[in-house]
Structure 1
Amino acid sequence: MDINIRNAVIHNVSGNTQDQLRDTIVDAIQRGEEKLLPGLGVLFEVIWQNADEQEQKTMLDTLEQGLK
Protein backbone atom coordinates (compact mmCIF):
# COMPACT_ATOMS: atom_id res chain seq x y z
CA MET A 1 0.00 0.00 0.00
CA ASP A 2 1.43 3.36 -1.06
CA ILE A 3 0.22 6.18 1.20
CA ASN A 4 0.91 9.82 0.43
CA ILE A 5 1.54 11.24 3.90
CA ARG A 6 1.38 14.85 2.75
CA ASN A 7 -2.03 14.43 1.17
CA ALA A 8 -3.37 12.43 4.12
CA VAL A 9 -2.25 14.98 6.71
CA ILE A 10 -3.52 17.93 4.70
CA HIS A 11 -6.84 16.16 4.10
CA ASN A 12 -7.20 15.40 7.82
CA VAL A 13 -6.69 19.01 8.94
CA SER A 14 -8.16 20.98 6.04
CA GLY A 15 -10.90 23.25 7.28
CA ASN A 16 -9.81 22.99 10.92
CA THR A 17 -9.99 26.09 13.09
CA GLN A 18 -6.88 27.55 14.70
CA ASP A 19 -7.88 25.96 18.01
CA GLN A 20 -8.22 22.56 16.35
CA LEU A 21 -4.85 22.96 14.63
CA ARG A 22 -3.24 23.98 17.93
CA ASP A 23 -4.78 20.95 19.64
CA THR A 24 -3.47 18.67 16.89
CA ILE A 25 0.06 20.06 17.21
CA VAL A 26 0.11 20.07 21.01
CA ASP A 27 -1.30 16.54 21.17
CA ALA A 28 1.29 15.22 18.72
CA ILE A 29 4.13 16.84 20.68
CA GLN A 30 2.84 15.68 24.08
CA ARG A 31 2.40 12.11 22.92
CA GLY A 32 6.01 12.03 21.73
CA GLU A 33 5.28 9.18 19.35
CA GLU A 34 7.71 8.80 16.48
CA LYS A 35 4.90 7.96 14.07
CA LEU A 36 3.47 11.48 14.51
CA LEU A 37 6.67 13.26 13.44
CA PRO A 38 5.96 13.03 9.70
CA GLY A 39 2.61 14.76 10.24
CA LEU A 40 4.26 17.58 12.15
CA GLY A 41 6.78 17.83 9.34
CA VAL A 42 3.98 18.24 6.80
CA LEU A 43 2.41 21.00 8.90
CA PHE A 44 5.78 22.75 9.17
CA GLU A 45 6.20 22.46 5.41
CA VAL A 46 2.85 24.23 4.90
CA ILE A 47 3.87 26.97 7.34
CA TRP A 48 7.25 27.43 5.68
CA GLN A 49 5.83 27.55 2.16
CA ASN A 50 3.28 30.19 3.16
CA ALA A 51 5.69 32.37 5.13
CA ASP A 52 7.44 35.38 3.70
CA GLU A 53 11.21 35.78 3.97
CA GLN A 54 11.04 37.65 7.30
CA GLU A 55 8.75 35.05 8.85
CA GLN A 56 11.11 32.29 7.68
CA LYS A 57 14.05 34.12 9.27
CA THR A 58 12.10 34.43 12.52
CA MET A 59 11.41 30.68 12.45
CA LEU A 60 15.08 29.95 11.79
CA ASP A 61 16.13 32.24 14.66
CA THR A 62 13.66 30.49 16.97
CA LEU A 63 14.85 27.06 15.84
CA GLU A 64 18.50 28.01 16.25
CA GLN A 65 17.87 29.29 19.78
CA GLY A 66 15.87 26.22 20.69
CA LEU A 67 18.67 23.91 19.60
CA LYS A 68 21.37 25.58 21.72
Structure 2
Amino acid sequence: GVLFLAKRVPWHLLIIPALWAATGILWSSIGMVEDVGLVLAGIVGVIMLVARERAARRAASATLQA
Protein backbone atom coordinates (compact mmCIF):
# COMPACT_ATOMS: atom_id res chain seq x y z
CA GLY A 1 0.00 0.00 0.00
CA VAL A 2 2.85 2.41 0.71
CA LEU A 3 4.24 2.05 -2.82
CA PHE A 4 0.99 3.45 -4.21
CA LEU A 5 1.47 6.65 -2.19
CA ALA A 6 4.97 7.34 -3.50
CA LYS A 7 5.36 9.77 -6.37
CA ARG A 8 7.93 7.64 -8.14
CA VAL A 9 8.53 4.00 -7.35
CA PRO A 10 12.07 2.68 -7.84
CA TRP A 11 11.82 -0.46 -9.94
CA HIS A 12 14.04 -2.48 -7.60
CA LEU A 13 11.42 -2.09 -4.86
CA LEU A 14 8.94 -4.08 -6.94
CA ILE A 15 11.08 -7.21 -6.56
CA ILE A 16 9.99 -7.92 -2.98
CA PRO A 17 6.20 -7.73 -3.57
CA ALA A 18 6.61 -9.72 -6.80
CA LEU A 19 8.52 -12.48 -4.99
CA TRP A 20 5.99 -12.46 -2.16
CA ALA A 21 3.17 -12.88 -4.68
CA ALA A 22 5.11 -15.62 -6.46
CA THR A 23 5.16 -17.65 -3.26
CA GLY A 24 1.40 -17.92 -3.69
CA ILE A 25 2.08 -20.16 -6.68
CA LEU A 26 4.03 -22.54 -4.45
CA TRP A 27 1.35 -22.65 -1.78
CA SER A 28 -1.48 -23.12 -4.26
CA SER A 29 0.42 -25.95 -5.96
CA ILE A 30 0.51 -27.87 -2.67
CA GLY A 31 -3.21 -27.48 -2.16
CA MET A 32 -3.75 -24.10 -0.52
CA VAL A 33 -5.93 -22.68 -3.28
CA GLU A 34 -6.86 -19.60 -1.24
CA ASP A 35 -3.37 -18.23 -1.96
CA VAL A 36 -4.28 -17.77 -5.62
CA GLY A 37 -5.59 -14.39 -4.47
CA LEU A 38 -2.05 -13.51 -3.38
CA VAL A 39 -0.79 -14.12 -6.90
CA LEU A 40 -3.63 -12.11 -8.43
CA ALA A 41 -3.07 -9.22 -6.01
CA GLY A 42 0.63 -9.15 -6.88
CA ILE A 43 -0.05 -9.12 -10.61
CA VAL A 44 -2.72 -6.42 -10.35
CA GLY A 45 -0.54 -4.32 -8.05
CA VAL A 46 2.47 -4.39 -10.37
CA ILE A 47 0.26 -3.59 -13.38
CA MET A 48 -1.27 -0.63 -11.53
CA LEU A 49 2.14 0.75 -10.54
CA VAL A 50 3.52 0.37 -14.07
CA ALA A 51 0.44 1.99 -15.61
CA ARG A 52 0.63 4.91 -13.19
CA GLU A 53 4.31 5.41 -13.95
CA ARG A 54 3.66 5.39 -17.71
CA ALA A 55 0.81 7.89 -17.35
CA ALA A 56 3.05 10.19 -15.33
CA ARG A 57 5.77 10.01 -17.98
CA ARG A 58 3.29 10.79 -20.76
CA ALA A 59 1.92 13.75 -18.83
CA ALA A 60 5.43 15.05 -18.18
CA SER A 61 6.43 14.73 -21.84
CA ALA A 62 3.19 16.41 -22.94
CA THR A 63 3.89 19.43 -20.75
CA LEU A 64 7.44 19.64 -22.09
CA GLN A 65 6.22 19.61 -25.69
CA ALA A 66 3.52 22.22 -25.11
Larger proportion of helix? 2
Structure with greater contact order relative to length (CA < 8 Å, sep ≥ 6): 1
Fold match by TM threshold 0.5: no
Task: State the structure with more CA Rg.
Answer: 2
Query: What TM-score, normalized to structure 2?
Result: 0.33
